[in-house]
Structure 1
Amino acid sequence: MGLSPFFATFNIQDFNMQILLAQHLSFCGGVKRAVEILFQLAREKNQPIFIYGELIHNSQFNDSLAAKNIFIAHSLEECRDKIVVIRTHGIPPDLEAALKSTALEVVDLTCPKVKRVQQLISDYAKENYQVVITGDPSHPEVIGLKGYAFNALVISSLAQCKYLPPDLPPKSVLLSQTTFNEDKFQLIASCLKETHPHLQVENTLC
């Protein structure tokens, strides 16, 4: 026996609800820059353009790309002899090197703010710092950032602070995924400074 669908309508006035619209609704600066360059590239090149992974997390935007001869690639093999764009989140340096040896052309559209964090991590790693990153370990940006340091540690919540090794080396630094929550970052930084006062903190949030 099938179930009849149930529909309900609500009057928003019954909930004493106020809806606020932001004055500005748009992509952030890094994404806007990447989209403009991507579309210009698609107009200038007489062949398909491939993005290694989603340029941004926006399904409506991603679904519209095929009409502009732009496609999303998920493997190196899909990029062979193609024009390939690096997503705004960035990628690990070893993957970037592999892309450059596989693709016909590679255009780096990593957000400039993410590039800055990549460079900071690379510089600290060269000085043998233990790098700690606040962020989502499964997020493409964090995966990319980890590639710039040996054995980088990732913390995504205040509760995870207790799992950080108690014997962090004197040369240790905390940085962040650019889009991580600022309140969470500050709480994690304060917590870690209590137990590891020598820890340097770089606020790399947008």
Structure 2
Amino acid sequence: MSKKRQVIRTKVMGFGMGVKSVIQIVEDEIDRDKKEPLYTYGPLIHNRLVIEKLHEKGVGEIEDPGEADGGAIVIRAHGIHPQKRKEFKEAGYRLVEGTCPRVLKSQQTVSEYSKKGWNIIIVGDKNHGEVRAIEGCAERFTTILTEEESAGVEVSGNTLVIAQTTLSEEEYERICRILLSRNPGIEIVRSICPATKQRQSSLKELIGKVQAVVVVGGKNSANTRRLYLTAKKTGIPCWHVEDVDELPDELGRYETIGITAGASTPDWVIDNIERAIEEL
């Protein structure tokens, strides 16, 4: 009889605090006895399977008030640009707050320092919803993502540096060191969610115990991609999958396989992947 395949999960994985909260908020809105249509501001989270389930329950998604004729709109964990929030309110929508508390804090911090005339450097993906929401609170800002960009950005005078909450802490530290070398007086905000670092550390700990790794999560999820790249850099065989049908046949060669998942990956998806790997 062949030896049963062992699947080992990382100690920290799956839904983050903000994502878990906003999913529950939407579920509560679905269950309410209401006559108004329900929308989310853009895709609620970076996970195709979750979005499909919400669509099946009648939840739409819009990014501009003119895309619908009013109703309730849940602000996703990434937050919303203040101007866009104002537009939805003025159009008569009922706004349901789902912004992650850490993102709200980042917005409040940037707004406070901007009003004092400080220059703001945002470290993150300029195309990410959270970064756009934070940018909306700044009067004078630059958004960077790489060490190369940090070497050329303006850092004179009073400068505040703040990061996208799901950024790799190692990346942020490297960029901050460069900025500090250019202006020792900059103020750095430790805005990265602790769970982001814990997922990375937990994965690194797991890699030494398994023969291969499967990273579960949306293909458009930045923190999931970073987990995959972390595994890939070690040289261990690894795959980034969204669903069971993406599991490669070659996984069947390995007896001990590790699983981790990004912040937008629900437990039921992780469970399905684990069962499928065991049955290979």
Taking the aligned partners of 1:197 and 1:19, their CA distance within structure 2 comes to: 47
Taking the aligned partners of 1:31 and 1:103, their CA distance within structure 2 comes to: 26
Taking the aligned partners of 1:201 and 1:24, their CA distance within structure 2 comes to: 27
Tell which has more relative contact order, 1 or 2 (C-alpha 8 A, sep 6+).
2
Residue 142 (structure 1) aligns with: 131
Partner SS, residue 166 of structure 2: coil
Letter in 2 for 1:33: S
Partner SS, residue 80 of structure 1: coil
Scaled by the length of structure 2, what TM-score is found?
A: 0.64
State whether residues 133 and 154 of structure 1, in contact with CA within 8 Å, keep that contact through their aligned partners in structure 2.
yes
Residue 164 (structure 2) aligns with: 177
* Long gaps (5+) in structure 1: 1-17
Residue among 72, 83, 96 paired with 1:107: 96
Question: How many equivalent residue pairs?
Answer: 187
Scaled by the length of structure 1, what TM-score is found?
A: 0.85
Percent pairwise identity: 28
Taking the aligned partners of 1:188 and 1:23, their CA distance within structure 2 comes to: 28
Q: CA deviation at 1:68?
A: 1.7
Partner SS, residue 162 of structure 2: strand
Residue 189 (structure 1) aligns with: 176
Residue among 22, 25, 30 paired with 1:42: 30
State whether residues 37 and 70 of structure 2, in contact with CA within 8 Å, keep that contact through their aligned partners in structure 1.
no
Once the two structures are superposed, the pairs formed by residues 9-158 of structure 1 within 5 Å of their partners are 20-23=8-11, 25-44=13-32, 45-158=34-147
Residue among 153, 157, 162 paired with 2:151: 162
Taking the aligned partners of 2:13 and 2:136, their CA distance within structure 1 comes to: 33
Q: CA deviation at 1:83?
A: 1.1
Cα–Cα, structure 1 residues 31 and 113, in superposed 2: closer, same or farther, change >3 Å? same
Taking the aligned partners of 1:48 and 1:22, their CA distance within structure 2 comes to: 39
Partner SS, residue 133 of structure 1: strand
1:92-127 deviations in whole A, cap 9, x for unaligned? 101100011114311121111100100000111111
Letter in 1 for 2:17: G
Residue 198 (structure 1) aligns with: 185
Taking the aligned partners of 1:25 and 1:115, their CA distance within structure 2 comes to: 23
Q: CA deviation at 1:35?
A: 0.7
CA RMSD between the two structures: 1.6
* Long gaps (5+) in structure 2: 1-5, 194-280
